[in-house]
Amino acid sequence: MQPIPKNNNIKSYTIPLDILIDILKIVLNNNLDYNIEAINDKESSLLMQISFDQTHINHPKAKENIEYFLNDYSHFFYGSPNEQ
């Protein structure tokens, strides 16, 4: 892993291990820089920093795809707030 350049947009995500492979596939296929900040064994998740270069043609779409996976997983696992 390379250090993340300071001029890029950096986001931290809590990623459940259930979808880690899907997220890593997006990260690696789009040559995104990333750092794993922490692993939470109790929650089966990890905290990952991902750097997005908004001028790169694929990075905004990769960010959108990552956030889609995380939102979809959250909705599937926990339900929507309106479903109580």
Q: How confident is the model at residue 5 (pLDDT cuts 50, 70, 90)?
A: low
* 84 found inside a domain: no
Whether 37 is in a domain gets the answer: yes
**Mean pLDDT (whole number) for 23-48:** 96
**pLDDT at res. 7:** 52
* φ, ψ for residue 48, nearest 5 deg: -125, 130
Q: Is the pLDDT of residue 29 over 50?
A: yes
Helix (H, G, I), strand (E, B) or coil at 64: helix
Question: How far is 12 from 68, CA to CA, in rounded Å?
Answer: 15
Q: Judge whether 36 and 47 are in contact, CB under 8 Å.
A: yes
Does residue 72 belong to any structural domain of this protein? Answer: yes
Per-residue model confidence as pLDDT tens digits over 37-84? 999 999 999 999 999 998 889 999 999 999 999 999 988 877 765 554
On whether residue 62 sits in a domain, the answer given is: yes
Assign residue 26 the CATH number of its domain.
3.30.70
DSSP letter (8 states) at residue 3: P
Least Cα distance to 50 among 35, 28, 67 occurs for: 35
Predicted pLDDT of residue 84 = 47
Q: How many domains does the chain have?
A: 1
